[in-house]
Amino acid sequence: SKISQNLNYLQTKDQILRSLEELDLEYLDLLLIHEPYKNSLYMYEAMQEAFENKLIKSLGVSNFNENFLLEFMQKVVIKPVLNQCETHLLYQQKSLHKVLQKHDIFLQSWSPFIANKNEIFNHPILLDMAKKYLKTSAQIILNFLYKRDILLIPKSSNLQRMKQNLQIFDFELENKDLQKLMDLDKNKSFFGWYE
């Protein structure tokens, strides 16, 4: 679950209780702050309290850049378990990923396929690798990100593609192919979150 608006401490407490009631749950497995809001620290304080009261199992953030995250972590008691960010072949978040790994925080990709912007599935490098490994371009992308310890949220409403998205664990990309994929990084957001 996510808190997707700038709330104060009391509003956040109310939102957590309302979410539990609407979902008919005793606890949430994970609660995220959707983006770096002005009141993020107050919101997180309410989340930490809910964590201590066993209403939330894990706390996280979303779309926090490196600087905001480091400053934020100096002011909180319970560190987030993950930062859910735009992460894909063309925006690999290498620097942020290093910081997260240093602090034992997972990086989760909310758009590993870039919402198919730039026709990513038809990129010549991916098409060549798909032939070579007898996989789809999507499977090459997911395998690459997964092997870099990035958690994935691939979006699809197509049952066949959903099944294919799970078939990424039975092949290893060669080092030269990994490097080709690393070299595709443009280090620029396609959705405007970090500018």
Question: Would you give the distance in Å from CA 110 to the centre of its chain?
Answer: 5
DSSP codes joined into one string, 81-140: SEEEE--BTTB--HHHHHHHHHTT-EEEES-TTGGGGGGGGG-HHHHHHHHHHT--HHHH
- Relative to beta strand 56-62, strand 2-3 is unpaired
Q: 156: pLDDT confidence band, cut at 50, 70 and 90?
A: confident
Which residues face 48 on adjacent strands? Answer: none
pLDDT one-digit tens code per residue, 47-62: 999 999 999 999 999 9
Both tokens of 31, joined, read 């609660």
For 185, list phi and psi in degrees, rounded to 5.
-60, 125
Mean pLDDT of the chain: 95
pTM (2 decimals)?
A: 0.92
The domains found in the chain, sorted by start residue, are 2-182 (3.20.20.100)
